[in-house]
Amino acid sequence: MARPRLALCVVLVLAGVGFGASCRNNRVGSTPDSATRGAAQDAPAPAAAHQGDVTAIPGIDLADLSASERESFWSLANEELSTCGDPYSLAVCARDRRACRTCVPALRFLARMVRDGRSRDDASEQLRLRYSPANAAQVNTTGAPSHGPANAPVTLVEFSDYECPHCAHAIPIIRQVEHDFPGRLRVVHMNFPLSGHTHAMAAARAALAAGRQGKFWEMHELLFTNQRSLETADLNRYAQQLGLDMARFRADSASPEVEAAIQATRREGERLEISGTPTIFINGRRYELPIERPMLRDWIQEDLDAAANPH
């Protein structure tokens, strides 16, 4: 049965450019995300170059930046420390080809943040999230449904809610990225039903119950495709479409084991201080950029390159 969507959603849009969107728990306050925090304030003018500052590095192409953007970029590149925690700047690290192999990729990432209109504070924060050695988390995905090889060099973990429209928007994008990296990317679904979505828990139960008959991903697709129709009768209809044993499906949907699995992934999300969906981690690093194929692909490719050349 179709019904109004009860999503409490925050859409972060800046000067016509979407910096991210998520559904929120009702209990979560109105504190904006990092993208909004940085861009809500006027970005300070870039500092003038100091004598001795690096202003050119082979392999760092800034042709698509305006003069003011290039000035901002070099100011940040000379202020931010090496991504390996060394006592010299990113710019010096890259110019001198120091041992830290993430300095050059970090500068390319920084150039993209500047080009995308990020404030100085937010560009710096995104750089920290992406490269700080202290920022990689261990995400416990035990028992969660996954696609791709268990030993894939890159794992993308998505905390998701079946009533969240932004999660539905992410589904085809993540599927495209999977196709970009066959055999090299593992995708893990973590149920994180939000309190403001009254049908999200039942939908999560239905997905895991279908998974017990080998049809998790098929049910997963049906639930997101039919996001406005998640009443009990709807869930039973989807199970019938998939040819599931209905008695077993109903029993599994109501089972304490399925409930425990959902609560386990929700607790893991809370431990990681997740407040909205979709929330993505790639190899343990929180991804807080727009869920777009090119940006995801660049991030994953960099992780694949790092895995192939660890030293």
Q: What is the pLDDT of residues 106-124, one digit of tens each?
A: 999 999 999 999 999 999 9
Beta bridge partners of 20: 12
Residues in the chain: 311
Residue 164 in domain: yes
pTM of the model: 0.80
Res. 58 pLDDT band, cuts 50 70 90: confident
Counting other chains too, the contacts that 257-260 makes at CB distance below 8 Å and 24 or more residues apart are: 258/205, 258/208, 258/209, 258/212, 259/205
How far is 290 from 269, CA to CA, in rounded Å?
A: 20
Res. 286 pLDDT band, cuts 50 70 90: very high
Residue 188 in domain: yes
- Whether the per-residue pLDDT at 41 is higher than 50: the answer is no
249 phi and psi angles, rounded to 5 deg: -60, -45
Region at 100 (left for phi over 0; alpha for psi -120 to 50; beta for the rest): beta
Res. 25 pLDDT band, cuts 50 70 90: low
CATH number of the domain bearing residue 215: 3.40.30.10
Mean pLDDT value across the chain = 86
With tokens 């859409």, the residue in question is 11
How far is 220 from 224, CA to CA, in rounded Å?
A: 6
At 235 the pLDDT is: 99
With tokens 């979709």, the residue in question is 278
Residue 216, classified by CB atoms within 10 Å of its CB into exposed (0-12), middle (13-18) or buried (19+), is buried
Do residues 101 and 307 lie in contact, with contact meaning Cβ atoms separated by under 8 Å? Answer: no
Residue 68 in domain: no
Percent of the chain residues past pLDDT 70, beyond the cut: 84
Residue 134 in domain: no
- Whether the per-residue pLDDT at 177 is higher than 50: the answer is yes
At 155 the pLDDT is: 98
At 233 the pLDDT is: 98
- Overall number of domains in the chain: 1
- Whether the per-residue pLDDT at 19 is higher than 50: the answer is no
At 4 the pLDDT is: 42
Res. 84 pLDDT band, cuts 50 70 90: confident
Residue 306 in domain: no
Residue 185 in domain: yes
| Least confident stretch, 39-43, 212-216, 236-240, 282-286 | 39-43
At 20 the pLDDT is: 56
Residue 254 in domain: yes
Do residues 205 and 259 lie in contact, with contact meaning Cβ atoms separated by under 8 Å? Answer: yes
Q: What are the helix (H) ranges across the chain? A: 34-40, 67-79, 90-95, 103-115, 120-131, 165-180, 200-211, 216-225, 232-241, 246-253, 256-271, 293-308
Sheet of strand 185-191, all strands in order from the earlier edge strand to the far edge: 146-147, 185-191, 154-160, 279-282, 285-287
**Separation of CA 70 from chain center:** 28
Residue 140 in domain: no
Do residues 136 and 283 lie in contact, with contact meaning Cβ atoms separated by under 8 Å? Answer: yes
At 85 the pLDDT is: 85
For residue 203, the enclosing domain spans: 146-277
**Which residue in 246, 161, 148 sits closest to 204, CA to CA?**
161
Res. 206 pLDDT band, cuts 50 70 90: very high
- HSE at residue 298, side-chain half, CA atoms within 13 A, is 13
With tokens 């993540």, the residue in question is 174
